[in-house]
Chain A
């Protein structure tokens, strides 16, 4: 086995410090591994030259003992984050050749802390999807195989990031989560996916899907890595008016917290129809495990849970319909040639540039905002969203954390659930409520089903309480070993 295979972010930092190997060697290993695993289609753009340049710079820093928080850590960057002079596509034909001249705040923070960019990872087009099957650049394949070595979806929308981490093509990856786009693929790929509180990470330079929900986060092999990487990307940014000024604590110090005497709520509404029995069993088991260490497990109710998905599928498409209006073929992006009037320029460019799911959501979003339907759909959804948030606020008066499954089921075959958008939407039923409430939530591997397919449990806390989330996630991780 290669010495690099088992590395984590945390251990790599130690190895690099001790000069057990150079960052260049490490990066070359990942570059090779990525090219050996192209069939997984994790990357839209590989950036080996960039990576080596950054690696050499890190080696210099290490030599000079100027080691930053993520020095020399090779990562994948979800192709939703604008990267200066590196093609950024959002997995859409409409941005197929778009080269930003600016850097997103999240990616900038990672480069500034020493991370090495291996490439831009694949995703659902404009982050709209739950299986990474809507990418213009083709679907990503989950490195974990199904029965008879069948190809499974990695989940979505951060499918390329999750699969790359799971396949050992990088040490960590960025993701973005609008309704579960970090947590759900983390669950499907057997890794840790963390979505912090809305406002923790700047959205500047992140291609927008649904602005009131979009939040950057991390996909890593374990909880410690998640804490290290999340630390790097959090913080107030004056370029984002929705970015929070709350102090960012040192997440890696979560270890000092104690779970003893804490209360974990089990919301009965998350026992949804069709919840996989093995996942359900694991959920119950871990409740028992928590009890053993002095955690009080209490039953709670989040009565508006069942309205979360409908609420989400009004608000997110509505915002998206406006956010995606800028892709009009005028200033950048795909433009249909040989049109002689403006409407054709718009309509043909956009119809050819966007995929079916994106178009469907733009249509829905436009409809729910249009005259005569705005109050019945959009305003109604904003009101229900408040009720969903209020449910959580009430619940967090009774408990410190909420434990739920991340997904109702494990990964499925590529091509499955493609005919009916609604069936695909149901994948997000357990992750969407925390998104609507802007709460931090993690998915941490909690076991595998009888076919060896992984699934995760989700831990949710009140706003800005990520450290406690890490603490509980770490307990599950340790217990699951």
Chain B
């Protein structure tokens, strides 16, 4: 068995489940018509419902229902034709109604699954459920010594809570699960998956056990806001639990907070009674009944999902599995690729996309969409390489300047005097002069010193200041040396 962690006296298995909160990319909130826009003035996007004013009543956003269903379909899940909204009761300053409208016993989406890549191959991770709920507002603790500030702009935004089965066995698997889930959300269009903005948040349930024994007591780790943090948090938490168990102590079921600075988890201030949420059906909202026609319609129009797309890429463009995986893992990238590959050599396109372009995006720390790089821009460059105007090396040299500037590829090349010499006559002249200057070497070569071929190429390139088309130089040289 892999992934086991060695403690002092035992080998331990980590058991992981994820609860992911994904904000639905809707214009307005789940039960109110306030805007969901990020980064506005505090409390500027708040209606009566979002502020829990007396007499305010929730009215559900149809778009959010559709997105929940479509996400459920993307997760191979059972869509529940009847679901019920419940009130989850607790007091907190950023929870204006004193309850969160959520779904408890009857969620809109039931059991499903997704598959992840592991070293042992594909692995199915079960989805327990997906339900709709309101987000809370934001409590800001660090702007004032004595007070906490409350901003309700986020209050009432639509969330999908997606709960997995405890099917993951390592931080890597958890990371793969979250990546895959994010990809699926992006493909169906229900959530942009942006973890920095908090549009995708994960809580991790961690427990450890000796393989084969029953599940251990779990701790829920909150506030893990990146895929890297998830792995770090799991590593720390698993080790903490193993240490405790091996020294004969018990795990206390609790909610813990991940501290990304110290790379550790710590117990949250005890929320004593808050575990009794007193869920009950919200009397302000009748049960939600989904029409068959709606589900069928969404099924019919379900976009191609990453697994399918990957398969298609492999078959259609003869891509390596690894490359196909990389390309489909971001919806934007997969679309970009398909546009770019039209009429071009897939291998060249993949290497430029996953090589230079990704390196560029990484360096600038932006996503493809944010970078505003267009398909045409990359296409122009690749075409110049294909027709021999530009060498790969030259293209790489100018890549960054090219992407950041407004010049076309041709303009840039001529400005830098970079265009390759691909003219046969010009090249012939160059080669002849090199051969003339090195008569002895030519003799040596002809008598069998094949290695000197490279020397001639080097001299031609030197003479042309690197602009000679290497393929053509090779070709002509071979001909000239034959004689």
A→B interface (CB under 8 Å): 81-82, 88, 90, 95, 98, 100, 102, 104, 203-208, 210-212, 238-242, 318-319, 321-322, 324-326, 328, 330-332, 342, 346, 366, 369-371, 374, 378
Chain B positions within 8 Å of A330 at CB level: 93, 96, 150
Q: List 13 A-B contacts (CB under 8 A).
A: A88-B54, A102-B55, A104-B55, A204-B56, A205-B55, A211-B284, A241-B285, A242-B284, A325-B97, A326-B96, A331-B96, A369-B278, A371-B278
A203 and B57 contact, CB distance less than 8 A: yes
The verdict on A326 contacting B280 (CB below 8 Å), with A102-B48, A241-B60, A242-B286 known, is: no
Compute how far the CA of A371 lies from the CA of B58 in the bound complex, rounded to whole angstroms. Answer: 26
B278 and A370 contact, CB distance less than 8 A: yes
A318 and B93 contact, CB distance less than 8 A: no
Contact pick for B57, options A81, A241, A319, A325, CB 8 Å: A241
**In residues 91-105 of chain B, which contact A (Cβ within 8 Å)?**
91, 93, 96-99
Given A204-B57, A211-B282, 13 more pairs with CB closer than 8 A: A81-B55, A95-B54, A104-B55, A241-B57, A242-B283, A322-B87, A324-B98, A328-B93, A328-B98, A330-B96, A346-B91, A369-B278, A374-B280
In the complex, B420 has a CB within 8 A of chain A = no
By beta carbon, the residue of chain A nearest B31 is A241
Chain B positions within 8 Å of A102 at CB level: 48, 53, 55
B 41-66 binary contact with A (CB < 8 Å = 1; else 0) = 00000001001111111111000000
B278 and A82 contact, CB distance less than 8 A: no
B280 and A342 contact, CB distance less than 8 A: no
Contact pick for A326, options B54, B57, B148, CB 8 Å: B54
Chain B positions within 8 Å of A82 at CB level: 54-55
A239 and B54 contact, CB distance less than 8 A: no
Contact pick for B55, options A206, A322, A366, CB 8 Å: A206
A326 and B283 contact, CB distance less than 8 A: no
Which residue among B58, B98, B99 has the maximum number of chain A CB atoms within 10 Å of its CB? B98
B57 and A371 contact, CB distance less than 8 A: no
Chain B positions within 8 Å of A332 at CB level: 53-54
A378 and B55 contact, CB distance less than 8 A: no
Compute how far the CA of A370 lies from the CA of B89 in the bound complex, rounded to whole angstroms. Answer: 10
Q: Within the complex, what minimum Cβ distance (angstroms) separates B156 from chain A?
A: 13
A98 and B57 contact, CB distance less than 8 A: no
**In residues 251-308 of chain B, which contact A (Cβ within 8 Å)?**
276, 278, 280, 282-286
Compute how far the CA of A205 lies from the CA of B53 in the bound complex, rounded to whole angstroms. Answer: 9
Which residue among A104, A238, A321 has the maximum number of chain B CB atoms within 10 Å of its CB? A321
B98 and A204 contact, CB distance less than 8 A: no
Chain B positions within 8 Å of A346 at CB level: 91
Compute how far the CA of A13 lies from the CA of B97 in the bound complex, rounded to whole angstroms. Answer: 42
By beta carbon, the residue of chain A nearest B52 is A326
Chain B positions within 8 Å of A104 at CB level: 55
Compute how far the CA of A102 lies from the CA of B32 in the bound complex, rounded to whole angstroms. Answer: 15
Which residue among B48, B53, B56, B148 has the maximum number of chain A CB atoms within 10 Å of its CB? B53
Chain A positions within 8 Å of B286 at CB level: 241-242
By beta carbon, the residue of chain B nearest A330 is B93
The verdict on A240 contacting B57 (CB below 8 Å), with A325-B97, A369-B280, A374-B280 known, is: yes
Q: Within the complex, what minimum Cβ distance (angstroms) separates B288 from chain A?
A: 10
Q: Within the complex, what minimum Cβ distance (angstroms) separates A72 from chain B?
A: 27
Q: Within the complex, what minimum Cβ distance (angstroms) separates A243 from chain B?
A: 9
A239 and B98 contact, CB distance less than 8 A: no
By beta carbon, the residue of chain B nearest A208 is B55
Chain A positions within 8 Å of B284 at CB level: 208, 211, 241-242
B98 and A241 contact, CB distance less than 8 A: no
A331 and B54 contact, CB distance less than 8 A: no
Chain B positions within 8 Å of A205 at CB level: 55
The verdict on A322 contacting B57 (CB below 8 Å), with A328-B91, A331-B52, A369-B89 known, is: no
Total chain B interface residues with beta-carbon distance under 8 A: 29
The verdict on A325 contacting B54 (CB below 8 Å), with A102-B48, A211-B284, A318-B280 known, is: no
Chain B positions within 8 Å of A342 at CB level: 93, 148
The 6 closest A-B pairs by CB, nearest first: A325-B98, A212-B283, A211-B283, A369-B278, A326-B52, A205-B55
Q: Within the complex, what minimum Cβ distance (angstroms) separates A103 from chain B?
A: 10
B59 and A238 contact, CB distance less than 8 A: yes
By beta carbon, the residue of chain B nearest A98 is B54
A326 and B276 contact, CB distance less than 8 A: no
Chain A positions within 8 Å of B52 at CB level: 326, 331
Chain A positions within 8 Å of B148 at CB level: 342
Q: Within the complex, what minimum Cβ distance (angstroms) separates B343 from chain A?
A: 52
Chain A positions within 8 Å of B48 at CB level: 102
Chain A positions within 8 Å of B93 at CB level: 328, 330, 342
By beta carbon, the residue of chain B nearest A211 is B283
Chain B positions within 8 Å of A203 at CB level: 55, 57
Compute how far the CA of A238 lies from the CA of B31 in the bound complex, rounded to whole angstroms. Answer: 12
Chain A positions within 8 Å of B53 at CB level: 100, 102, 326, 331-332
Compute how far the CA of A321 lies from the CA of B52 in the bound complex, rounded to whole angstroms. Answer: 14
Compute how far the CA of A238 lies from the CA of B58 in the bound complex, rounded to whole angstroms. Answer: 10
Q: Within the complex, what minimum Cβ distance (angstroms) separates A392 from chain B?
A: 19
Chain A positions within 8 Å of B56 at CB level: 204
Q: Within the complex, what minimum Cβ distance (angstroms) separates B253 from chain A?
A: 15
By beta carbon, the residue of chain B nearest A104 is B55
Chain B positions within 8 Å of A204 at CB level: 55-57
A322 and B59 contact, CB distance less than 8 A: no
Compute how far the CA of A241 lies from the CA of B61 in the bound complex, rounded to whole angstroms. Answer: 11
Compute how far the CA of A318 lies from the CA of B48 in the bound complex, rounded to whole angstroms. Answer: 23
The verdict on A326 contacting B278 (CB below 8 Å), with A208-B55, A331-B51 known, is: no
Contact pick for A371, options B60, B98, B276, B285, CB 8 Å: B276
A370 and B276 contact, CB distance less than 8 A: yes
Compute how far the CA of A208 lies from the CA of B282 in the bound complex, rounded to whole angstroms. Answer: 13
Compute how far the CA of A242 lies from the CA of B57 in the bound complex, rounded to whole angstroms. Answer: 9
Q: Within the complex, what minimum Cβ distance (angstroms) separates A265 from chain B?
A: 29
Chain A positions within 8 Å of B280 at CB level: 318, 322, 369, 374, 378
Chain B positions within 8 Å of A208 at CB level: 54-55, 284
Compute how far the CA of A269 lies from the CA of B150 in the bound complex, rounded to whole angstroms. Answer: 53
Chain B positions within 8 Å of A378 at CB level: 280
Q: Within the complex, what minimum Cβ distance (angstroms) separates A271 from chain B?
A: 32
Compute how far the CA of A260 lies from the CA of B56 in the bound complex, rounded to whole angstroms. Answer: 44
Chain A positions within 8 Å of B276 at CB level: 370-371
Which residue among A95, A102, A330, A369 has the maximum number of chain B CB atoms within 10 Å of its CB? A330
**In residues 77-136 of chain B, which contact A (Cβ within 8 Å)?**
87, 89, 91, 93, 96-99
**In residues 169-214 of chain B, which contact A (Cβ within 8 Å)?**
none
B54 and A210 contact, CB distance less than 8 A: no
By beta carbon, the residue of chain A nearest B97 is A326
Q: Within the complex, what minimum Cβ distance (angstroms) separates B270 from chain A?
A: 12
Compute how far the CA of A330 lies from the CA of B96 in the bound complex, rounded to whole angstroms. Answer: 8
Compute how far the CA of A370 lies from the CA of B274 in the bound complex, rounded to whole angstroms. Answer: 11
Chain B positions within 8 Å of A240 at CB level: 57, 59
Compute how far the CA of A330 lies from the CA of B53 in the bound complex, rounded to whole angstroms. Answer: 11
Which residue among B48, B52, B278 has the maximum number of chain A CB atoms within 10 Å of its CB? B278
Compute how far the CA of A98 lies from the CA of B52 in the bound complex, rounded to whole angstroms. Answer: 14
B58 and A241 contact, CB distance less than 8 A: yes
Chain B positions within 8 Å of A366 at CB level: 278
Chain A positions within 8 Å of B96 at CB level: 326, 330-331
Compute how far the CA of A240 lies from the CA of B53 in the bound complex, rounded to whole angstroms. Answer: 14
By beta carbon, the residue of chain A nearest B273 is A370
Chain B positions within 8 Å of A326 at CB level: 52-54, 96-98
By beta carbon, the residue of chain A nearest B277 is A371
